[in-house]
Structures are given as structure tokens and as C-alpha cells.
Amino acid sequence: MTAPALTLAEKLIARAAGRRAVSPGEIVTCKVDLAMFHDSSGPRRLQPMLERLGAQVWDPSRIVLITDHYLPADDEESRSIQAITRNWARSIQLKNFYDGIGICHVVLPEKGHLRPGMLAVGGDSHSPTGGAFGAYMFGVGATEMLGVVVTGEIWLRVPHTILLEWNGRFADGVSAKDVMLSLCARFGLDGARYEAIEYAGSAIRAFSMQERMTLCNMSAELGAQTALIAPDACTLEYLAAAGVRELDAARWRGDPGATPLEHHRFDAAALEPHVAAPHSPANAAPVSSHAGTKLDIAYLGACTGAKLDDLRMAARVLKGRRATIELIVAPASLKDREAARADGTLQALEDAGASFLATACGACAGYGQGFAPDTRIISSTARNFKGRMGDPTAQVYLGSPYTVAAAAVAGRIVDPREMLTRSRSAREA
């Protein structure tokens, strides 16, 4: 009997379900390879339920716990949540506990916990980030996570695949964030209808791993269950540096002849920098539509906007220039912050007048730094919903690290490509 042609999503689910093949719409039970949660979604919610059930954790070696939301713990509620988190990690002798070293979606691959072929769940809506590594990863709520933590299994409906293919070459100054904002504008926040997105094409393959992470992360903004990129040499190089060995990557790609539900093709060269206006990522348009909008604060932070690659983008714009409005930077992880210090990136941000916050979720998740009433902010975060980042009257625009940095210098929204062009001309003169 001829084996059916499967999409990458179907292959990953079939492996986890112990099946030769699966079909979209089927309900299957899958073995979970890894469960990740943080101080907000984890022990403070799970521990009381486990105690009521008298249940035990199925396999602590398959759990990763990261503190990133309630940091810095500068109020009683935050200190209490951190204490609960640390005590629970100690009580189950959790080895994979990372306390205050960065945002969960960045720390997880940094520490070598992701690899192609896995099925993983996360207690955070941006858990599809793991799909950048060829892992089927998606976010679940506390009740579903409880089931996973006790049984090591989860059921799901096999999704259809929506294939988004980008070919050609992105212009200098255009990044993964611009890709995602353009897709949010085109398809809306429920455009993926909880199906699986797969990114493909020469322009996607040219992206670094951290740019791929931004793509998969923000697929949550499209309403996808997960997002995937077939692993390649770039994936293997990143994972090898993270200490991952014995990788089985070649099999984790869709079969020739596999049929996606939708297949959309895009010209990378035609994409412009995008900005999303308040109060939704779907309110995105080319940067020219918002050019001249005056701002009070430029914020570089979050798992989609303050990784090492993101900080380097901003530094390219800021080098030799000064911010004319408040510039705030919250690096996504300690590792990335130290790498940025070693290569001079952090110095360029400091010289531009940046102030620095903790390596944590911070303003993106509505913790810590809160923006004042009527403040106009441009941010590299994933979301700009009303009140999410502080007072509900604050006006939050979303842009790439390039766009945020250019706005910091100009004091208003501008096309970052103009500053990059002037920088190149100055170097060549």
C-alpha cells in the first residue's frame, strides 16, 4: 500500500500519536515530548489543582519552568508568585528550571530543549515559537496543562496546513516583524482559523533562526495553532551551538504531493516596512501610512523584538546617532544581552541614550514598566491591544527593531531604510 503524502504538521502529529499517518479533522491523542510554562502560567495555577487531585507529575525531566513575567519582583504579589514558583521547582526536584535569565520562548531553544520532530506544549500563547525548529509546539491553558503534567498526553484535532511561501530577497531594513505585520493586515487575527501555518521559500530560508522564531511566534496573532519551518542547515547549526546532538532533521519536511488547505505566494522584494496602529496588530500598513506620527517613547523589548538579532538591527540605525525621545531597551535574555555587549551592539544603544530594563517580559505582558495615560509609544512587541502595556489611553504602535530605532532618533514614525541608506553612504564616503 502506498504511503500517503503528508504535510510537515501531519508528520509531526503522526509520530506523536504513534500512527503511520493522520488526516486533517481527525482527533488523536499524542505523547508530549516537552511541557514548558512560566511563573505566570505555571505552579501558581497548577500546584493547587495537583494537590486537590492528589496527583503527581508524570516526568519532571520533560518539564521546563522559566521565570520571566513577574520580574523584577518589586511588589508583594510578584514576590509571592516567585516564591511559589521556586518552592514548587524544588519540591519536584526540577532540573530544567531557569530563574530570571530571560523570556521563556528565547531561553527554551538557547538551553537546547527543542529539536526537530518533537511535539511540545507551552503555557503561553506564543509557544508556536518552537515551530521555527521543526517542532510541533502550541499554547495551552492551565486545565489542559494539568492534564499534560499528570499524564504526559494531550488530544488534538489534526489541523490543515496553510502554506505561506516567500521567495526573492527582502530589502535591507525589512525584517520578520514586517512580514508578520503585513500578514496580520492581510488575513486578520483569526485568519488561520486555528490551523497550522508553514513558512517556506528562499526568503524564509535566508532568515536567521532568531528571525524565524519571530515568524512562528507571531503566528499566534494570525490565529494559528502552530507555525512550522522545515529544519535545514541553519537549524542544525543553531542547535549544535546549543549543545543538541544526534539530530534527526532530514525526515521533518512535507512530502512532495502533500496538499495544503491554502497556498499563498509572496514576493519578498515587494515588502515594505510595516507599522501597526493602535489597538491591534491587524491595523498594520506600510510605514509611509503613518509617517510623521509624533511619539513619546520607543520601546525595544519582548521575544519578538529584543533578541540579539533584533538589538543588532536597532544598533545599525542608532550607531552614531542620538535618540530624541525616551528609548527603553529590555533584552530578551541574559545570553543575548552579553553577546550584544561583547560585539559592541549594547554600546551603540547606550551611546544613543537608551535606558535598560530587566531581561523579562516587562511591558509586553503588562508587567513592570507601564506606560502613562495618553503616551504615544512605538514598540517591537507582538501585541498592542488596548491597555495591555499600561494605561488604556496609551497609544501603542508596533514596528520592527529597525523602525523603532529610527523613530527613536526622529521622534516620529519614519521609514528606517532612509537612515540605513544614509549610514551606508557615510561609511562609503
pLDDT per residue as tens digits for the range 359-387: 988 788 776 667 888 999 999 999 998 88
Answer whether residue 291 is part of any domain.
Answer: yes
Mean pLDDT of 310-338: 98
Residue 327 contacts residue 408 (beta carbons within 8 Å)? yes
Answer whether residue 429 is part of any domain.
Answer: no
Residues 106, 248, single domain; the answer is yes
Answer whether residue 35 is part of any domain.
Answer: yes
- Domain-ending residue, one of 224, 240, 266: 266
CATH assignment of the domain containing 240: 3.30.499.10
Residues 298, 414, single domain; the answer is yes
Tell the residue number behind the cell numbers 541574559, with chain if given: 334
Answer whether residue 406 is part of any domain.
Answer: yes
Residue 179 pLDDT exceeds 90 = yes
Tell the residue number behind the cell numbers 549610514, with chain if given: 423
What pLDDT does residue 63 have? 98
- pTM, whole model, 2 decimals? 0.96
Q: What does the mean pLDDT of the chain come to?
A: 95
Mean pLDDT of 140-155: 97
Amino acid identity, position 244: V
pLDDT > 70: what percent of the chain?
98
Residue 146 contacts residue 47 (beta carbons within 8 Å)? no
Answer whether residue 2 is part of any domain.
Answer: no
Tell the residue number behind the cell numbers 509586553, with chain if given: 364
What pLDDT does residue 56 have? 94
Answer whether residue 402 is part of any domain.
Answer: yes
What's the number of CA atoms in the CB half-sphere (13 Å) around residue 34? 23
Predicted confidence (pLDDT) per residue in 39-57, tens digit: 999 999 999 999 999 999 9
H helices of 18-98, in order, are 43-53, 76-91
Cell of 241: 551551538
- Give me the number of domains the chain comprises: 2
What pLDDT does residue 368 have? 61
What pLDDT does residue 1 have? 58
Mean pLDDT of 413-427: 85
Q: What is the CA radius of gyration of the chain?
A: 21
C-alpha span between 77 and 422 (Å, rounded): 48
Residues 287, 244, single domain; the answer is no
Mean pLDDT of 157-182: 98
C-alpha span between 191 and 333 (Å, rounded): 31
What pLDDT does residue 426 have? 66
- Domain-ending residue, one of 237, 266, 295: 266
337 sits in which H/E element: helix 334-342
What pLDDT does residue 207 have? 98
Cell of 108: 527554551
Residues 304, 223, single domain; the answer is no
Residues 319, 227, single domain; the answer is no
Predicted confidence (pLDDT) per residue in 261-307, tens digit: 999 999 999 999 999 999 999 999 999 999 999 999 999 999 999 99
Mean pLDDT of 387-394: 85
Q: In terms of C-beta density within 10 A (0-12 exposed, 13-18 middle, 19 or more buried), how is residue 195 classed? A: buried
Residue 315 contacts residue 289 (beta carbons within 8 Å)? no
Mean pLDDT of 165-170: 98
Residues 222, 79, single domain; the answer is yes
Predicted confidence (pLDDT) per residue in 249-261, tens digit: 889 999 999 999 9
What pLDDT does residue 220 have? 97
Residues 284, 258, single domain; the answer is no
Residue 208 pLDDT exceeds 90 = yes
Residues 230, 332, single domain; the answer is no
User: Please, which pLDDT band fits residue 32 given cuts at 50, 70 and 90?
Assistant: very high
C-alpha span between 429 and 427 (Å, rounded): 6
Residues 156, 234, single domain; the answer is yes
C-alpha span between 266 and 250 (Å, rounded): 26
What pLDDT does residue 421 have? 87
Weakest mean pLDDT among 189-203, 210-224, 243-257, 345-359: 243-257
User: Please, which pLDDT band fits residue 109 given cuts at 50, 70 and 90?
Assistant: very high
Residues 297, 224, single domain; the answer is no
Q: In terms of C-beta density within 10 A (0-12 exposed, 13-18 middle, 19 or more buried), how is residue 309 classed? A: buried
Answer whether residue 63 is part of any domain.
Answer: yes
Residues 349, 295, single domain; the answer is yes
Residues 261, 285, single domain; the answer is no
- Domain-ending residue, one of 266, 287, 306: 266
Answer whether residue 1 is part of any domain.
Answer: no
Q: Which domain holds residue 224?
A: 8-266
